[in-house]
Amino acid sequence: MPTLRFLGDESWTVDVEEGVTVLEAAEICGARVGSSCGGQCACSTCHVYVAKGLDTLNEITEQEDERLDMAFDVKPESRLGCQTVVGHQDLDITISEESTKAWYDEHPEERNKQ
């Protein structure tokens, strides 16, 4: 079972089955990855950076590529969490600032706890 480590304004670690998306893994462990469109590849709020394991992931599609163009601070290791499928290897994921911000917009009650 691959282990995913998320780094954002906190850090989270979770073991998941191959085939789940990075966004689903984030939701399992509570990592703060935004998902304004509900994982439909229609926004860019699930933008993450894959610091380790990028070459073990599914190919980026044209649709994902187009959506990533809408994101801020895009890097070669950028992916959309809802379109990125976990393979057989561990991943280190850094959550983009815009994604963390989107998550708090989606969970305003959590912002008040800070």
Residues contributing to the site for ligand FES (CB under 6 A):
35-37, 39, 41-46, 67, 80-82
Cβ 42 to ligand FES shortest distance, Å? 5
Using the minimum distance from each CB to ligand FES, give the nearer residue, 39 or 87: 39
**Comparison of 2 and 81: residue with beta carbon closer to ligand FES:** 81
* Smallest separation, CB 20 to ligand FES (Å): 14
| Residues 81/99, Cβ–Cβ less than 8 Å | yes
Tell me phi and psi for residue 105, to 5 degrees: -65, -35
* Beta carbons of 90 and 3 less than 8 angstroms apart: yes
Q: By C-beta, is 37 or 74 nearer to ligand FES?
A: 37
H or E stretch including 114?
Answer: none
